[in-house]
């Protein structure tokens, strides 16, 4: 495949695509952090005391 095949994005389109990709990445990372923190909060301070013995 040469560079001329397929859909070609202009530089401006690439810039906007990159911006969107970064935003989606940040949103996903934010969700990961959110679920992590919520899990800690939900389990509460007693999380280390339970159920081992």
Residue 53 Cβ vs other proteins, minimum distance, rounded to whole Å: 28
Residue 48 Cβ vs other proteins, minimum distance, rounded to whole Å: 18
Give the three-class secondary structure for 27. helix
Structure tokens at 45: 């301070």
- What is the C-alpha separation between 19 and 16, in angstroms, rounded? 5
**By CB under 8 A, residue 23 contacts other proteins:** yes
State which of residues 8, 45, 49, 50 lies at the interface with other proteins (CB under 8 A).
Answer: 8
**By CB under 8 A, residue 50 contacts other proteins:** no
């Amino acid at each position: 495949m040469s560079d001329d095949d397929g859909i070609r994005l202009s530089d401006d389109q690439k810039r906007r695509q990159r911006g969107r990709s970064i935003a989606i990445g940040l949103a996903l990372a934010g969700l990961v952090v959110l679920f992590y923190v919520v899990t800690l909060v939900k389990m509460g301070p007693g999380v280390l005391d339970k159920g081992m013995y």
